[in-house]
Structure formats: C-alpha cells, structure tokens
Copies of this chain bind each other. A is one copy, B any other.
Amino acid sequence: MHDVLRHDKAYGRCVPKLWKDTVEEHRRDVRAAILDAAWRLAHERGIRGVTMGLVAQHAGISRATLYKYFSGVEEILVASHAEHVQEHLATLREAHSSAGTPREGLERLIDHYAEICFHRGRAGAPDTSALVHAGEQHQRNTTELERLFIDAVLAAQAAGEVRADIAAKLLATYILHAAEGAGSVGSRGEAAGLATLAKECLGSASGSTGPTTRH
C-alpha cells in the first residue's frame, strides 16, 4: 500500500505515507486510494453510512487533506462511480471495436454489458446512480454509455444487419436496459440468456429472414 514512510515528528508528518516520485503521480495515487476507500465503505455501510472521517482514515490521510481533494462525501461517491463507469466503458469500447461486422460488434457489446451488470449485481455494488443530486456528472456518463450503444446500433443499421424500423436511440435504450436485467439474475447462464433475448430483438436485416449466419 504505502511506498515510503518518512518520520513522524511532533507536529505533522509532512510527506504522506504513500509517495511516488513526482507530485502529480502522487496525487493520482492518493485520489485513487480515496475513491477506492469510498467505494468500499459505500459497499459495506451503504451510501448514507459514508463519512469524510471514515474515508480519510481508510485512505490513509487526514480529514483536512481529504477536503483538499474533494469537497464532500457526495462528490467522492460521484467521482468513484464515474471512475467505475469509465472502466466499463473502456472494456465495452474495446469489445465493440474488436469485432468483425457491425452486427457482431453490437452483439459483443450486449454480451459484455450483460456480463458487467451480472457481476455488479452479484457483488452488491453500491448503486451510486441514486445520488440524485450528483445529477450532472452521472448523467454525462450515462449518456456516454448510451452514445456507445446508439452508435453501435446506427452502424449495424447502416450495414443492413439490424432492423431499421425502430429509431436507433430507442433500440439502444431498449437493449441497454434489457441487458441490465442481468444484474438481478442468479446465474451467469441466465445472464447470457438475457443477452441472447436482447440480441434476438435486433431482428434480421430489413424484414427478410436472415442476413446470415453468424453462428
């Protein structure tokens, strides 16, 4: 956890416990430690049970220092949530772009997202999305996720590999939420089943039965 521990004098230990070569790097690390601590605490004690003191303690810094990074618990939780979403987004983007056809990319997106939701559900991850007042930041992340799906649907529609009788935005929203169902399911198999159902709804090209055999 901590790289170097310099001395404890009477008044304050002035180089923090965890310290990397550069200031910037160090700040990144501390920030990460804070977000991680907050996430864990939210998981253990519920969103309302997270306090600045606890976060500071778990992150290995003083409360005063914590206020130099974030102005309150709310902000920390939102940042923490955003971080996780970003991680997932990266995975998803990769899954999508590594596919052959647009349709295949979209299907992979669905599979991966269902998987993510399944794990999130199992882990009982704190539902930080309910920080109603975090509004903005969260909204942006949500939109980013939606954007990803919408673009994937659009591409697949353009390629004639997905039904075009439904607006891409609507179809994307539909799929996204359907896949989210994987979060409240008991087994990985069921999660996969949901993903399959969602994929089924993409229909075949433009009415004709199958543009193909990608099995």
Chain A residues within CB distance 8 Å of chain B: 42-43, 45-49, 73-74, 124, 126-134, 142, 146, 163, 166-167, 169-171, 173-174, 176-178, 180-181, 184-185, 190, 193-194, 197-198, 200-201, 203-204, 207-213
Contacts and interface: CB of A to CB of B under 8 A. Distances in A.
Given A170-B194, A212-B203, A133 B49 contact: yes
A130 B212 contact: no
Chain copies in complex: 2
Contacts of A46: 74, 131-134
8 contacts: A46-B131, A127-B127, A170-B190, A171-B197, A173-B185, A176-B181, A200-B201, A204-B212
Contacts of A210: 200-201, 203-204
Contacts of A130: 47, 126-131
Contacts of A133: 45-46, 48-49
Contact of A48 (B73, B180, B207): B73
Nearest to A125: B132
A208 B74 CA distance: 49
Contacts of A42: 132
Contact of A213 (B171, B180, B209): B209
B173 A181 contact: yes
Contacts of A47: 47-48, 130-132
A127 B134 CA distance: 12
A48 to B, nearest CB: 6
A163 B200 CA distance: 13
A116 to B, nearest CB: 14
A101 to B, nearest CB: 19
| Shortest 9 CB-CB contacts between residues of A and residues of B | A130-B130, A127-B130, A177-B181, A46-B133, A203-B212, A178-B178, A46-B132, A173-B181, A174-B197
